[in-house]
Amino acid sequence: MAFIYGRNDIPVKPVKNSQIAVLILAAGSGTRMESELPKVLHPICGRPMLFHVLRVALALKPASIGVVIGHQVEIVKKSAQEMFKECSISKPPQFIIQKKLLGSGNAVLESLPFLKKFKSVVVLCADTPLLTYESLYSLIQNHQAHNNLATLLSAKVSNPKGYGRVIRSPLGEVLKIVEETLATPKEAAINEINSGSYIFEVNALVEGLKEIGAKGEKKEHFLTDILEILRSKGGRIGVHLTPNSEEALGVNTRVQLAAAERIMNRRILERLMLSGVTVKDPASVHVDCDVDIARDVIIEPFVMIAGKSKIGKKTRIGAFSKLSNVEIGAECEIEMSRLDSCRLMDRSEIGPFSHIRPGSVIGPKVRIGNFSEVKASRIGTGSKVSHLSYIGDAEIGDNVNVGAGTITCNFDGKKKNQTVIETGAFVGSNVNLVAPVKVGRQALIAAGSTITEDVPAKAKAFARARQVNKV
Ligand code: UD1
Ligand code: CA
């Protein structure tokens, strides 16, 4: 089976009809998020909501994808273009600018010049990030099998508050969608909701959209009204009820954002566990969607793995560790530590309480021990920085021992300077290495020294006051 974008939860079974376009509605102002960031760019498991919807749209292999934007146009457009590039899609989406945010019906109306080139269109909301390929695929199949003019994806939920309700006839045919603000108490009690995903025949859309009137307090044009309009003209409309109701979750508030994050995280962890990763306490572990973890990795409670990260087989990530954008090799041990934008090679050990900062390349078989910080440094095979050190802008060779409390003094007040410690050197405890400085191969530095000049290979350097014992 083929997979997209390095993720193995979306099998690609392309829908055959190359006459289908996908339209993603992303123009809404997202008022209820109370945010400066456009709603559709709020991240869920490390990627913007819009990205998740774009990705599922791409999996359908449509003839084209249109994105309707209208609020903070430039920011949303730039992000969407980057998302496409990252998915290795050379053909950018078609952006449709909705001039006035007059509702979802108006958003589709503004898109008609783009849509007229296609026979059918799948309309998705950019704020439903949990949609699955399987459901959209079934929606399209159902629509085509029944020759419908419009088919809607619905879900049965325990709490329908805030969603449009699906009104059916006693025979089960869908009659219309009623928005919550306009629903009678009886309609509001219905728990089958509109997910905001539909497929339309474009001709029917053109006809129906003309008749949608402004409604509600904000005088908006509801796309949902089109079902009743098409039906009144004798057109077939259908509904596909998803068995997986959580995918219909629409994110309008930060409360729903958190709910979506939790569900997506659970999906990611389940996928990882089924592929051979032990997650000791899924309720306290958080893993982003671009994280790749090999078999027999053990993740202890209260761990977060964020960004684009990769973890090699049999590595153990100990409790209370946070890793972001890391590449970790096989059989590493990480204990209560923070690792950010760095690379750790096979069989290395970090922590407890260490901070590995961006640009560091460590290992293999290195030990960075208790309470140590490493920044933008390379540490070679078998070297040890076991206790209470700061290593910044350093190049450390193989089998170097860095004693407890050693500090690279890399900052002279203006710029950062490099420390080089060559292979086999031994740095005693509590040494200050005032950079720029170089310690040669197999040199030895006495404990407590402050080294300001280069140390030749195999030399023994003492840079401390001689002890005087007075009685
Ligand atoms: C909408 C549906 C509702 C459904 C719910 C599912 C309508 C009228 N209602 O309600 O039946 O249950 O989604 O989550 O469609 N948008 C634009 N331009 C606009 C207004 C909105 O592009 O002028 C976009 C938004 O960015 C969003 C989508 O349309 O992606 C839906 O808008 P939103 O305001 O979130 O609608 P809901 O109230 O959630
Ligand atoms: Ca919404």
CA of 109 to the centre of ligand 1 (A): 14
Which is it for the CA torsion 143, 145, 149, 155, positive or negative?
negative
Report the nearest atom of ligand 1 relative to the CA of 100.
23
CA of 107 to the centre of ligand 1 (A): 10
Return the pLDDT at 219: 87
**Is the confidence at residue 204, as pLDDT, over 70?**
yes
Out of 3.60.20.10, 3.90.550.10, 3.30.450.20, 1.10.3210.10, which CATH number does the structure's domain 2-252 have?
3.90.550.10
Contact, 454 vs 438, CB < 8 A? yes
Domain 255-461 has CATH 3.40.605.10: no
Instruction: Give the range among 86-95, 96-105, 151-160, 385-394 with minimum mean pLDDT.
Output: 86-95
CB of 111 shorter than 6 A to ligand 1: no
Return the pLDDT at 215: 85
**Is the confidence at residue 14, as pLDDT, over 80?**
no
Domain boundaries, the chain: 2-252, 255-461
CA geometry: angle at 460 spanning 454 and 465, to 5°?
Answer: 85
Q: How far apart are CA 254 and CA 35, in angstroms?
A: 9
In the numeric block, the tokens 């009144």 are attached to 232
pLDDT band with cut points at 50, 70 and 90 for residue 6: very low
**Is the confidence at residue 301, as pLDDT, over 70?**
yes
Over residues 113-129, mean pLDDT: 97
Contact, 356 vs 340, CB < 8 A? yes
**Is the confidence at residue 68, as pLDDT, over 90?**
yes
Distance from chain centroid for Cα 185: 39
Over residues 321-335, mean pLDDT: 98
CB of 28 shorter than 6 A to ligand 1: yes
Calculate the average pLDDT of the chain: 95
CA of 11 to the centre of ligand 1 (A): 28
Residue nearest to atom 35 of ligand 1 (CA): 252
Over residues 323-346, mean pLDDT: 98
Q: How far apart are CA 251 and CA 48, in angstroms?
A: 12
pLDDT band with cut points at 50, 70 and 90 for residue 378: very high
**Is the confidence at residue 10, as pLDDT, over 80?**
no
Nearest to 250 by CA among 268, 241, 263: 263
Peptide bond into 352 cis (omega under 30): yes
CB of 25 shorter than 6 A to ligand 1: yes
How much of the chain exceeds pLDDT 90, in percent? 93
**Is the confidence at residue 1, as pLDDT, over 50?**
no
* Residues classed as catalytic: 387
Amino acid (one-letter) located at 59: A
Over residues 65-91, mean pLDDT: 91
Q: How far apart are CA 392 and CA 412, in angstroms?
A: 13
Nearest to 20 by CA among 154, 247, 227, 198: 198
CB of 175 shorter than 6 A to ligand 1: no
How much of the chain exceeds pLDDT 70, in percent? 96
Return the pLDDT at 17: 63
**Is the confidence at residue 16, as pLDDT, over 70?**
no
Q: How far apart are CA 324 and CA 419, in angstroms?
A: 26
- One DSSP character per residue, 34-92 reads --SS-GGGSEETTEEHHHHHHHHHHHT--SEEEEEE-SSHHHHHHHHHHHHHHTT--SP
Report the nearest atom of ligand 1 relative to the CA of 196.
6
CB of 102 shorter than 6 A to ligand 1: yes
